[in-house]
Amino acid sequence: MNPGRIASLGDPIGKPGQKLGWRCLDNTGGEANGVGTVALRRKLSVTPLRDDRATTSAVLATLTKAKYAHFATHGFFAD
């Protein structure tokens, strides 16, 4: 895809079977710290799951006990 061009429906994001790589998002640590600070000020429990601790099983287990959740992540939808 050319820079500055908006993708349209049907545009392939990659070749079939290709694994997509994602670079680290800038300031996700700062974002998580800010959200955690606000939550603690409001007397909410905070369970940060970062880096290697953010496994699928750890996130799913923690979500069952959570009232709120904040995710700083890449995302896309492919049908």
Predicted confidence (pLDDT) per residue in 25-73, tens digit: 889 889 999 999 999 999 999 999 988 898 999 999 999 999 999 998 8
Q: State in Å, rounded, how far the first CA of the chain is from the last one.
A: 19
> Closest by alpha carbon to 76, among 9, 4, 15?
9
Helix (H, G, I), strand (E, B) or coil at 41: helix
For 3-34, write each residue's pLDDT tens digit. 555 555 666 667 778 777 778 888 988 999 99
pTM here is: 0.61
**Token pair 């429906």 in the structure block, residue:** 9
